[in-house]
Amino acid sequence: MKLWKSLLAGAAAAVALAAAPLATTAANAADQTRIALVVKGLGIGFFEAANKGAEEAAKELGDVEIIYTGPTDTTAEGQIEVINALIAQKVDAIAISANDKDALVPALKKAMDRGITVISWDSGVAPEGRAMQLNPSSTPLIGNMIIKLAADNLPDGGDVAVLSASATATNQNAWIAAMKQVMPNYPNINLVATVYGDDLSDKSYREAQGLMQSYPDLKAIIAPTSVGIVAAAQAVEDAGKVGEINVTGLGLPSEMAGHVESGASKSFAIWNPIDLGYSATMIAYNLAKGKATAEPGAEIPMGRMGSVKLDENTEGAMADPFVYDKSNIEQFKSIF
Amino acid sequence: MSRETPESRLESRPDSRRAIPDRLSTPGARLLRSWEALLLAVAVAIFVANCFASPYFLDPWNLSDATFNFTEKAMIAFPMALLIIAGEIDLSVAAIIALASTIMGMAAEAGFGTPALVLVGLGVGLVCGAVNGTLVTRFGLPSIVVTIGTMSLFRGIAYIILGDQAYTSYPPGFDYFGQGYVFWVISFEFVLFAALAVLFGVLLRRTSFGRMVYAVGNNPMAARFSGLRVGRIRFLLFLMTGLLSGVAAICLTSRLGSTRPSIALGWELEIVTMVVLGGVSILGGAGTIAGVVIAAFVLGMVTFGFGLLNVPGIVMSIFIGLLLIAVIALPRLAARLAPRRA
C-alpha cells in the first residue's frame, strides 16, 4: 500500500499546487464586475471574435472581468453545466448565445433568481429565461443595407436583380420586402427580377447565369444568402463579367475573400462578431450595475455602438450589418 | 468494508454445482479489492483540491447544483455496470433517452398528465431495452454491434418525429423530477440516485441474481453448464438498462423542461467512462456498485471544480482521460511489483 500512498500524495499535492494561483486570481476578482460570455462551443472562430469584442469593452469599462466560457460540444446540457458553475461563482452577469432556446430556460431562471443579470445575444433564449435578447441586426436594417451596397457602386443607377434562397424562406422574404420598401430612396435603381436558388450551389449558379443572359444590362446581383452570393460571384467570374456586374448581399468573409479579391464582389455585408461581443458586454454591464433596465421600449447604451431600443418582446437590434470589402476582408476571412 | 469470501457464500447455496469465484485470483487480487479505497482516496484528494482552488466550492447550494452533473448519468451507470460485468455493453442508452423524451413530449402535447408521462417514459425505455435484449440473446449478435445500430435507430426515430422542432409544453408538476427538492438542498434526483445505488448494490452483492451476473461475465460457457439461464439473465440486464434509461429520460426532460432530438448527445461514452472508472472490468466478471458510486462523485466533482475555475471543457476531457488511464494502469503496475511481497 505504500506505493498507493506516495502516488496519491503526489497527485494531490500537484493538483493543489496547480490550483493555488487560480484561487488567488478568483479572490482578487471579487471587487470587479464579472461578466460571463457563454458561447455555443469553444474553438469556433465567430465566438473567439466575439470574445475579442468583449475584452475590448472590458478594457473600456475598466472594472470588468470577462469570463469567456462554453461547452466543448455544442449541446444544451453542456451549457447548463457551465451555467451552474457560473451561478456557483456568483458572477454578476451572464451573456449567452444559446444552443437551445427552451432547454436553458430553467437553468437561466435559477441564475436570475439568484440575482444574476442574464441576457442572450446572437442565438436567443425564450423570453422567460433572459432579461433581453440582442439581435445582430434587424429586418429593416438588412433590407436597407443590401440595396445600399448595390446602389453605392452604381452612381448612375441601373438594373439590379435579386438571387434569393427558396421562395418560402422566411428570413430572405422579409429582407427583400424591407428592401422594396426603401427602394424609392434609390430612384435610379431598377429591380428587374427576383429568382430563387434554393440555397443550393448549383441551382443558384444556374439562376445567376440565367439572369445575366436575360438582362444584358444587369449591373448588380443582390444575394441575401451566403450560398447564393458565392454561387453568383462564381458565375460572374466564369462569364468574364467581372467589373460589369457587381455581386453583393449577405455572405461569410471566409467564403467571399476570393471573390472580393477577384473583383466580382466589391463589397458585401454580414454582422460583425467583434461588435456583437462588445455590445453584449456593454449591455450586460449596464443592466448589472442598474444603469439601465430591460423593459419594452427601453434604450440601453452600448458604448461606441450607440444604444439599443427594445421592442415588446424585449429584443433589440444592434446595428446595420457590417460592410466587408478589400480593406478589411483579409482581417476577417480567418475569423468566420 | 467487511466481506464474506465468495467461496463460503457459494457453499451455502445448495443449488450451485461448482464454485465460481467472483474475481480471478491473480497476485494483484488483494490490491484489486482495495480499488474502492483507492478511488475514495482520489475523490477525497479532488474534494480537498477543489476546496483550496475555489472559494465557492464549499457551499451547500453549489454542491447541490453540482450533483446534477452526474445523477442522471449515474442512474444508467448502475445497470450498465451489471451489463458490463456480465460481459455485454449497451451503447444505445443516450439514444433511448432521446426517444423516450420525444415520445413523452408527444404525450404531453396530446394533453396527458404527469403520471401518464412517467409511464410513457418508463415504457419506451423498457421497449427499447427489450429490442436490444432480443437482438442480442435471440439472434446471438454481439451487443456492441447491436447497440451501435439501435443507437442510430432510436435517435433517428426521435429526429424523424421532431426534426428541428422542440416539445416544450410539459404539464405543471412534471418539473419536480428534475428541478424539485425533497429536503433543503437535497434534490429529488439525488435521492433517487442514492436509492438506486443501494438497490443495485444489494442486487449485485446480496442476491443470487447478482452472483449469476458475475458468473456469466467470468465464463458464460461454464455458467451455462452450471445450469444458469444465461440468455435470460442477459435479456433482463438489457431490460433493466432500458428501464433506467427511461428513468433518466424523465429526470433530464423534467430538468430541461423541453425535448429536442439532440438531448443527451454523447452520454453513452460518459456513462461507460463512469462504469470503467468505478473499477468494473471492461472484460466482464468483476466490479462493484460502490466503485461506480464513487466514480460518479469523482467525475461530478472534477467537472464542477474545473467549471468553477472556468477551465475550458477540452482541458476537462483531457484530465478525465488521464485519470481514467491512470486508475486503470495503477493496479496493473502494482500487480507487477506485488509478487515479491506475496
- From residue B294, give the alpha-carbon distance in Å to each of A63, B234, B258, B300: 41, 25, 30, 10
CB of A241 closer than 8 Å to CB of A212: yes
Distance CA B118, CA B230 (A): 31
* A261 backbone φψ class: left, alpha, beta (φ>0; ψ -120 to 50): alpha
Count of structural domains within chain B: 1
Judged by average pLDDT, the poorest of A104-108, A142-146, A169-173, B89-93 is A169-173
Three-class DSSP category at B323: helix
Asked if B257 and A89 come within 8 Å (Cβ–Cβ), the reply is no
Q: Any idea which fold A139-270 has?
A: Rossmann fold (3.40.50)
Q: Hey, what CATH class is A32-136+273-318 in? A: alpha beta
Residue of A nearest to B62 (CA): A88
| pLDDT of B27 | 52
Residue of A nearest to B35 (CA): A4
Is A115 near chain B, with CB under 8 Å? no
Asked if B266 and A1 come within 8 Å (Cβ–Cβ), the reply is no
Residue of B nearest to A1 (CA): B31
Range of the domain at B225: 29-335
Assess whether pLDDT exceeds 80 at residue B17: no
Distance CA A305, CA A308 (A): 9
pLDDT (mean) for B189-204: 96
For residue B323, what pLDDT band results from cuts at 50, 70 and 90? Answer: confident
Show residues of chain A in contact with B313, CB under 8 Å: 42, 70-73, 78
Kindly give the pairing relationship between strand A117-121 and strand A158-164.
unpaired
A142, three cell numbers: 438588412
Model ipTM?
0.76
- From residue A119, give the alpha-carbon distance in Å to each of A134, A135, A272, A319, B229: 8, 11, 19, 17, 58
CB atoms within 10 A of CB B282: 13
pTM equals 0.78
Nearest Cβ partner for B256 among A4, A8, A106: A106
| Same fold across A32-136+273-318 and A139-270 | yes
Residue B21 domain-assigned (yes or no) = no
Q: What is the CATH number of the domain that holds B184?
A: 1.10.3470
- State phi, psi for B298 to the nearest 5 degrees: -60, -50
**Hey, where are the domains in chain A?**
32-136+273-318, 139-270
Residue of A nearest to B334 (CA): A3
* DSSP symbols for B202-242: HHHHHSHHHHHHHHHHH-HHHHHHTT--HHHHHHHHHHHHH
Residue B2 domain-assigned (yes or no) = no
CB atoms within 10 A of CB B325: 10
Distance CA B44, CA A9 (A): 11
Show residues of chain A in contact with B168, CB under 8 Å: 102, 126
* DSSP symbols for B144-182: HHHHHHHHHHHHHHHHHHHTT--B--PPTTTTHHHH-EE
Residue B18 domain-assigned (yes or no) = no
Question: What mean pLDDT, rounded, does chain A reach?
Answer: 86
Inter-chain CB pairs, A–B, below 8 Å: 136
Asked if B307 and A76 come within 8 Å (Cβ–Cβ), the reply is no
Asked if A102 and B166 come within 8 Å (Cβ–Cβ), the reply is yes
Residue B11 domain-assigned (yes or no) = no
| pLDDT of B224 | 92
CB of B26 closer than 8 Å to CB of B335: yes
User: Distance (Å) from the C-alpha of residue A22 to the closest C-alpha of chain B?
Assistant: 6
> Which of B256, B263, B311 should we substitute to test contact with A (largest number of A Cβ atoms within 10 Å)?
B256
Judged by average pLDDT, the poorest of A23-37, A182-196, B318-332 is A23-37
pLDDT (mean) for B230-256: 96
> Which of A75, A77, A83, A102 should we substitute to test contact with B (largest number of B Cβ atoms within 10 Å)?
A77
Q: What is the pLDDT of residues A125-167, one digit of tens each?
A: 999 999 999 988 888 899 999 999 999 888 888 899 999 988 8
Map grid coordinates 424562406 to a residue: A169
For residue A26, what pLDDT band results from cuts at 50, 70 and 90? Answer: very low
Asked if B66 and A84 come within 8 Å (Cβ–Cβ), the reply is yes
Is A89 near chain B, with CB under 8 Å? yes
Distance CA A146, CA A151 (A): 9
| pLDDT of B30 | 57
Kindly give the pairing relationship between strand A158-164 and strand A218-223.
parallel
| pLDDT of B22 | 58
Show residues of chain B in contact with A51, CB under 8 Å: none
Asked if A15 and B62 come within 8 Å (Cβ–Cβ), the reply is no
Burial, B9: exposed, middle or buried (Cβ in 10 Å; 0-12, 13-18, 19+)? middle
Show residues of chain B in contact with A128, CB under 8 Å: none
Q: Where are the alpha helices (DSSP H) in chain A?
A: 2-28, 45-61, 76-88, 105-113, 139-152, 170-182, 201-214, 226-238, 253-262, 273-288, 329-332
User: Distance (Å) from the C-alpha of residue A206 to the closest C-alpha of chain B?
Assistant: 29
Distance CA B205, CA B207 (A): 6
pLDDT (mean) for A55-60: 93
User: Distance (Å) from the C-alpha of residue B49 to the closest C-alpha of chain A?
Assistant: 5
B80 contact partners, CB below 8 Å, separation of at least 6: B89, B90, B93, B241, B271, B272, B275
User: Distance (Å) from the C-alpha of residue B268 to the closest C-alpha of chain A?
Assistant: 14
Residue of A nearest to B73 (CA): A77
CB of A189 closer than 8 Å to CB of A147: yes
Asked if A19 and B53 come within 8 Å (Cβ–Cβ), the reply is yes
| pLDDT of B206 | 93
CB atoms within 10 A of CB A25: 10
Q: Where are the alpha helices (DSSP H) in chain B?
A: 6-11, 29-33, 35-53, 60-67, 71-85, 93-109, 114-137, 143-162, 176-179, 188-206, 208-218, 220-225, 230-256, 267-277, 289-308, 313-337
Asked if B309 and A70 come within 8 Å (Cβ–Cβ), the reply is no
Q: How many residues does chain A have?
A: 336
For residue A53, what pLDDT band results from cuts at 50, 70 and 90? Answer: very high
pLDDT (mean) for A214-227: 91
For residue B2, what pLDDT band results from cuts at 50, 70 and 90? Answer: very low
CB of B109 closer than 8 Å to CB of B168: no
Between residues B17 and A264, which one has the greater pLDDT?
Answer: A264
Is A48 near chain B, with CB under 8 Å? no
| pLDDT of A100 | 87
Assess whether pLDDT exceeds 50 at residue B268: yes
Is A6 near chain B, with CB under 8 Å? no
Residue of A nearest to B38 (CA): A4
Judged by average pLDDT, the poorest of A187-201, B127-141, B243-257 is A187-201
B299 contact partners, CB below 8 Å, separation of at least 6: B69, B70, B270, B273, B274, B277, B320
pLDDT (mean) for B262-282: 91
For residue A246, what pLDDT band results from cuts at 50, 70 and 90? Answer: very high
